[in-house]
Amino acid sequence: MTTYLVRRLFQMLIVTVLSAMLGYSLLYLAPGGPLLFLQQMQNTGQNRVTEEDIARIKARYELDLYLPVRFTRWLIGFPRGPVQIFGVYLLPPDTVVGCAIPGQVRLRYPDGTVEIVEEGCARPVTLADLEERRTSRGILFGDFGLSQQIARDRPVSDLLMSRLPYTLWLMGVSTLLAILIGVPVGIYSAVRQYSRFDYAMTTITFIGSSLPTLFMGVMAILIFSVLAKDAGLPYLPSGGAQAVRDYTIPWIGRVEAGSLLDRFLRFIMPVSVLTFFNIAGWSRFVRASMLEVLRQDYVRTARAKGVREQLVITKHALRNALIPFVTLLAGVLPTLVAGAAITESVFNWPGMGRLLVDSLGRSDYTVAMAILFISTVLVLIGYLISDILYTIVDPRIRLS
């Protein structure tokens, strides 16, 4: 078991680094970011932006470093400056790791036209320069760096922490509700297979899972917010996690902005949409698993012994049917934190999913990378937990 765990953790580390590399190269290829803004200023000619300004901004976001150096600094916070072991420089202070101001070469064509081409480097960045900079400890050690656009120069982790509670609440409650509703429905559907209840539930859950959350969310707002409000009926406020100013709802009365009631009313729709969407998965899974167990010999034996039907189902069948279910729970882990980008966007919910959408819309790639990185790590942890849970709930399986 220990060797297995060690090997798995090592593999996880490799996959994490690989996917971080993939994400980081994407980020590197992506234009935009803080420099785009500067270029726009330069083009419109409002302010004179000197080469020095550009070099300073570049240095702040490490854009002047070569890709491998940037990557290792971002991933593990290395190198922070010259590297020496026992007084001997492994990487001396004058090692060039980037270029602050690109060199310019004047090309004169035979027909007399002149073109200025960037070539070489007018002022290189060396390891000695890196010592003065604020250095991230590396994303592997939990330092996500600075946000470039959304919250300028504030740590990404602050931004993430401010969004995390909203996502945890939304995803936690909707997952819990989906399980609490889906599992009993699945069990009942399996016990009464092909009954009217089974057909009705199959159809409803099927429709729920077929509809995109986008459509369901928009329709929910349309019916319960817009149309209900227009008709003078009590309506559900939508947009954001809390109101900016007080409002009145018919029959309920005045709702204070930011009060518990206000938050609750705004919570109902996104949670219901996500729950409705997810119930199907859980109930179908439990139904299939239960149907399989109900055909097993030990269930027939139990019935033959004269065990009451209710006991057969709860004691013999259900316990075994829930074995695969437990392992599914680990798969929920990443979504709890990463959130639901679309539902959160539709309802303007200030969670992690919307943060990702916002960060992409405003080219704040450090934030986007942080979210991608966290979800990848959580997916990997989820896999590991589910594999371990397998051995716990089903002793026949051994990890090797």
Catalog residues that contact another protein under the rule CB under 8 A.
Answer: 15, 18-19, 22-23, 26, 29-32, 206-207, 209-212, 214-215, 218-219, 221-222, 226-227, 230, 334, 338, 341-342, 345-346, 356-357, 360-361, 363, 368, 371-372, 375-376, 379-380, 383
Nearest residue (CB) to another protein, 100 versus 370: 370
Q: 59 or 356: whose CB is closer to another protein? A: 356
Q: CB of 98: closest distance to another protein in angstroms?
A: 22
Q: Cβ closer to another protein: 15 or 389?
A: 15
CA distances 129 to 38, 54, 94, 126, 290, Å, are 23, 16, 9, 5, 65
Shortest distance (Å) from residue 227 CB to another protein: 6
Shortest separation between residue 156's beta carbon and another protein, angstroms: 15
Quote the least distance from Cβ 16 to another protein, whole Å. Answer: 9
Nearest by Cα to 79 from 124, 145, 138: 138
Q: Which is nearer to another protein, 183 or 367 (CB)?
A: 367
Closer CB to another protein, 132 or 230, in the complex: 230
Q: Rounded to the nearest whole angstrom, what is the least distance from the CB of residue 48 to another protein in the complex?
A: 27
Alpha-carbon span 83 to 323, nearest angstrom: 52
Q: Which is nearer to another protein, 4 or 128 (CB)?
A: 4
Amino acid at 239: G
CA distances from 219 to 170, 211, 263 (A): 19, 11, 21
Q: How far apart are CA 69 and CA 172, in angstroms?
A: 39
Minimum distance from residue 263 beta carbon to another protein (Å): 21
Name the minimum Å distance from CB 253 to another protein.
22
Give the torsion through C-alpha atoms of 198, 199, 201, 203, to 10 deg.
160
CB of 307 to another protein, least distance (A): 29
How far is residue 40's CA from residue 47's CA, in Å, rounded to a whole number? 10
Give the long-range contacts of residues 113-120, CB within 8 A, separation 24 or more. none
Which residues, including other chains, have CB under 8 Å from residue 60's CB and lie 6 or more apart? 34, 153
- How far apart (Å, rounded) are the C-alpha atoms in residues 37 and 119? 24
Q: Kindly state the smallest distance separating residue 351's Cβ from another protein, in Å.
A: 13
For 267-290, give one letter per residue: b (16+ CB within 10 A) or e: bebbbbbbbbbbbbbbbbbbbebb
Specify the residue, 91 or 140, whose C-beta has the smaller distance to another protein: 140
Amino acid (one-letter) located at 154: R
Whichever of 84 and 195 has its CB closer to another protein, that residue is 195
- Measured CA to CA, the distance from residue 129 to residue 132 in angstroms comes to 6
**Site of tokens 């034996």:** 301
Task: Give 166 or 312: the residue with its C-beta nearer to another protein.
Answer: 166
Strand locations in 264-361, DSSP E?
none
Alpha helices (H) along 30-153 = 34-44, 51-60, 67-76, 127-130
Give yes or no for a cis peptide into 212 (omega within 30° of 0): no
Kindly give, in sequence order, each residue whose CB lies less than 8 Å from that of residue 338, ignoring residues fewer than 6 positions away: 167, 352, 353, 356, 371, 374, 375, 378
